[in-house]
Amino acid sequence: MSVHPDVQPTPRMGLLLIGLGALLIVGQLFNVSLNLSAGMVLFTIGSVFFFFGFWQRIYGLIIPGSILSGLSIGVIFEPLVGGPAVLWGLALGFLGIFGLGRALFQHESIWPVIPAVILFAVGMLAALSNLPAILGPSLFMLLGPLLLIAAGIYLGSSRRH
């Protein structure tokens, strides 16, 4: 496998792939299909804004690109988590505006952090209100065996003096 000299694999890429794989496995266990097509449409539109924003060095185009990309992530994971995933995706988009603006455009304004925190907090409230539905019997059917495995690993690996 040849790797472009400017793009080197990092541990973060590995962790991202592991996390995505784990989410897909969990989705299969609970028979949830992710909205990949809807998310990819939003991400494609967002990448057009990113392309022209990076090419012409226009900070204003990074704003809709980040929002659409964050929204695409939320839409993809909405069937798995529910409505809070969309809010968290939008919060991630606003954090992307902040991070890209600071790192690539030397834009020091913190305005994107304010809607990101608000969207994340509202998403947390929505997730907590839906907690009984999320923690249904199927989760406990999977959680019980996992706890037994973890306890067995812990007890089996503990050193006796």
Is residue 146 a part of any domain in this protein? no
- For 84, the domain range is 32-131
pLDDT band at 159 (very low <50, low <70, confident <90, very high): low
Asked if residue 111 has pLDDT above 80, the reply is: yes
Convert the pLDDT of each residue in 22-61 to its tens digit. Answer: 666 666 666 656 667 788 888 899 999 999 998 999 999 9
The pLDDT of residue 1: 46
Is residue 127 a part of any domain in this protein? yes
Is residue 21 a part of any domain in this protein? no
The amino acid at residue 81 is V
Asked if residue 2 has pLDDT above 70, the reply is: no
Is residue 142 a part of any domain in this protein? no
103, two tokens: 């790192």
Asked if residue 132 has pLDDT above 70, the reply is: no
Please provide the size of the chain in residues.
Answer: 161
Give CA separation, 67 vs 52, 80, 95, in Å: 15, 21, 9
Burial class (CB in 10 A: 0-12, 13-18, 19+), 54: middle
Separation CA 58–CA 66 (nearest Å): 13
Please count the structural domains in the chain: 1
∠ Cα 14 75 42 (to 5°): 90
